[in-house]
């Protein structure tokens, strides 16, 4: 396992981090299975566990808490908030009111008195940066969080938040957690240059592109992954963008074979090769999934392999841009771009 410094925090973190989104009903993972995955991940040298209040409505946090009991101090523990938690209109967002309330809920579910990294799961356009940063700074000073970060923020919002922190003399986001894979590379255009400029640690999610790069999706085979059952439209091969992805996967499989690598090694080795990326979040649903992903822990891709990947999916290109979560609101709501 490789270790890197998380932004400017001085904290050393593993290049692969354990994402717990599949713990609970989303991945149909039991407590015993989750604990076994955590045990194996820690034994392999992973020291970061990332979850969120939203994952299975808090069940993931509860399962992580039980799995790490008795060894909290050996783990860099991260969670997230701001996504809706139920139907109550104020049980979401990044207001001071909600963040303070929901952090206490997360700490209770995790069974800990603090988290190392508290992340805003999605940018909340209805709340000012000053409001959010002020609440997070107070939680940090109270000792309930060590650092805080953003997740899936557009580049301009990352910059704005950095300036707001400076202007109002508040602590700043120390990390960003964007989606990134061989098939979704648009963050190379703006987000990653910005994180490098401001010295943010970067924990990337979905490096296997929801299973497209796991080796389980190939031409001539039935798509039967857990994710395809949850989101069938993302794997419907009658949709042109999905056909484009499959064509890219077939070409990438040839690159992996020639290099003597699995598709997972190729995919994880690609994202961890970028100098702006600190860690790649893996989200195994089973122990077998975890072991296949741990095999990429020390994978270092040669320049020839990286060039071959660039020739298949150009730098800065998303093959499925409609699946992004950082689209500016004005592109989604016509009323926001018309006088």
226 pLDDT more than 80: no
DSSP character for 313?
A: S
Residues 6+ apart with CB under 8 A from 57: 85, 86
Is the separation of the CB atoms in 176 and 195 below 8 Å?
Answer: yes
Can you tell me the mean pLDDT for 85-108? 97
Tens of pLDDT along 273-326?
A: 999 999 999 999 999 999 999 999 999 999 999 999 999 999 999 998 888 787
- Cα-Cα-Cα-Cα dihedral sign, residues 219, 222, 227, 233: positive
Give CA 261 to chain center in angstroms: 24
Can you tell me the mean pLDDT for 206-216? 93
Confidence of residue 65 (pLDDT cuts 50, 70, 90): very high
Using CA atoms, how far apart are residues 65 and 186, in angstroms rounded to an integer?
34
**Taking Cα atoms as reference points, which of 93, 174, 102, 79 lies closest to residue 128?**
93
Q: Is 143 exposed, middle or buried (0-12, 13-18, 19+ CB in 10 A)?
A: exposed
Tens of pLDDT along 233-271?
A: 888 888 898 999 999 999 999 999 999 999 999 999 999
pLDDT at position 206 = 96
Confidence of residue 333 (pLDDT cuts 50, 70, 90): confident
Residues 6+ apart with CB under 8 A from 233: 239
Helix (H, G, I), strand (E, B) or coil at 42: helix
Q: How far apart are the first and last CA of the chain?
A: 54
User: What beta strand segments (E) does the chain contain?
Assistant: 3-5, 12-14, 16-19, 48-50, 76-81, 115-120, 145-151, 175-177, 201-204, 279-282
176 pLDDT more than 90: yes
Using CA atoms, how far apart are residues 114 and 319, in angstroms rounded to an integer?
39
pLDDT at position 148 = 98
For the annotated catalytic residues, the residue numbers are: 55
Cβ density class 277-309: b for 16+ within 10 Å, e for less:
bbbbbbbbbbeebbebbbebbebebeeebeebb
pLDDT at position 179 = 97
Residues 6+ apart with CB under 8 A from 275: 196
Tens of pLDDT along 105-149?
A: 999 999 999 999 999 999 999 999 999 999 999 999 999 999 999
Place of tokens 């020390």: 298
Confidence of residue 328 (pLDDT cuts 50, 70, 90): confident
Is the separation of the CB atoms in 165 and 173 below 8 Å?
Answer: yes
CA distances from 114 to 13, 79, 227 (A): 18, 10, 32
């Amino acid at each position: 396992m490789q270790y890197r410094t998380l932004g400017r925090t001085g904290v050393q973190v593993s290049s692969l981090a354990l994402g717990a989104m599949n713990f609970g009903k989303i991945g149909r993972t039991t407590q015993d299975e989750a604990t076994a995955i955590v045990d194996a991940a820690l034994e392999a040298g992973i020291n970061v566990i990332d979850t969120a209040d939203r994952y299975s409505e808090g069940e993931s946090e509860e399962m992580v808490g039980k799995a790490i009991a008795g060894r909290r101090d050996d783990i860099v523990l991260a969670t997230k908030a701001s996504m809706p938690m139920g139907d109550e209109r104020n049980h979401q967002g990044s207001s001071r009111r909600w963040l303070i309330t929901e952090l206490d809920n997360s700490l209770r579910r995790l069974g800990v008195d603090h988290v190392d990294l508290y992340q805003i799961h999605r940018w909340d356009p209805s709340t000012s940066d000053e409001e959010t940063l002020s609440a997070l700074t107070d939680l940090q000073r109270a000792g309930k969080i060590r650092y805080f970060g953003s997740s899936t923020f557009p580049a301009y919002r990352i910059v704005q938040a950095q300036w707001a922190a400076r202007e109002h003399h508040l602590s700043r986001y120390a990390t960003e957690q964007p989606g990134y894979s061989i098939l979704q590379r648009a963050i190379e255009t703006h987000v990653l240059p910005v994180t490098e400029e401001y010295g943010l640690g970067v924990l990337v999610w979905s490096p296997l592109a929801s299973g497209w790069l796991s080796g389980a999706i190939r031409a001539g085979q039935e798509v039967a992954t857990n994710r395809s059952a949850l989101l069938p439209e993302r794997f419907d091969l009658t949709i042109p963008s999905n056909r484009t992805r499959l064509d890219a996967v077939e070409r990438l499989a040839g690159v992996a074979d020639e290099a003597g690598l699995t598709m997972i090694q190729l995919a994880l080795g690609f994202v961890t090769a970028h100098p702006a990326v600190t860690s790649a979040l893996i989200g195994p649903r089973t122990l077998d999934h975890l072991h296949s992903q741990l095999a990429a822990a020390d994978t270092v891709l040669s320049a020839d392999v990286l060039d071959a990947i660039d020739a298949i999916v150009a730098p800065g290109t998303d093959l499925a841009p409609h699946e992004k979560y950082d689209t500016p609101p004005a592109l989604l709501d016509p009323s926001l771009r018309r006088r």
